[in-house]
Amino acid sequence: MRSKETKARGARPPLAHAKAARSPIQRLMSLAGALLLVLAWVSASPAAKPGLVLNLVETDTGRVALSVPIARGEAFTVWFLHSYDRAFFAEHYRALAPGRILLTHMTFKSNLNGEGFEYHDFHLRPDGVGELRNINEPRREVHFMQGSPDMANHTLILRGKRIRLVNYVAPRTLVSFRVCNAPRKNKD
């Protein structure tokens, strides 16, 4: 109930005045919160921040023979049969960013034709598989010559899926795996 003095001045009661004073501030805070949510959503959307792809690129032509989505920090493996003893060899990598790949380690059954190792952390597992661990060598790309299915059978292993590269590139073709930004999708 309003006092006689408040009625005479035409002023609002103290509580109503406080609510009215907070209302524009509350509206402004709500609007600012909504704007922040929209900005967060837009910055996380693919159109604003492209994902990554792992491209298999023919060296001589630049043709992208295979392109698969890959997440920042995701591991992938290039698996093949060693040319001398026909045993498997696997190079394990991590996609870091466009133009940035990390060779993390290697596993193999091959005896590598009696050659020495360039890397020093060698370990022989109980199952007879050799490991060169803790390599952590940065690379811009993974470059090699595509082997035939009977001699090398180069295979990409990503998320547990095996992709035979001879299905995309002819044997004896120089190729590279490269981490690139995914192409932006047009909104036509």
What are the backbone angles phi and psi of residue 72, rounded to the nearest 5°?
-60, 125
User: Could you list the residue range(s) of the whole structural domain that residue 102 is in?
Assistant: 52-181
**Residue 39 forms part of a structural domain:** yes
Indicate whether 78 and 58 sit together in one domain: yes
**Residue 188 forms part of a structural domain:** no
The span from the CA of 147 to the CA of 63, in Å, is 18
With beta carbons less than 8 A apart as the criterion, state whether 93 and 54 touch. no
Query: In a structure prediction context, what are the per-residue pLDDT tens digits for the chain, which is 188 residues long?
Result: 555 554 555 555 555 544 455 566 666 656 655 555 544 444 443 443 469 999 999 999 999 999 999 999 999 999 999 867 778 999 999 999 999 999 999 999 866 655 555 667 888 889 889 899 999 999 999 999 999 888 899 999 999 999 999 999 999 999 999 999 999 876 55
Residue 1: per-residue pLDDT: 52
3-class secondary-structure state, position 121: coil
Could you count the other beta carbons within 10 Å of the beta carbon of residue 59? 14
**Residue 186 forms part of a structural domain:** no
**Residue 167 forms part of a structural domain:** yes
Domain count across the chain:
2
**Residue 151 forms part of a structural domain:** yes
Residue 128: per-residue pLDDT: 86
DSSP states along 131-143: EE----EEES-EE
**In this structure, is the dihedral angle defined by the CA atoms of residues 114, 115, 120 and 124, taken in order, positive or negative?**
negative
Whether this model's pTM surpasses 0.85? no
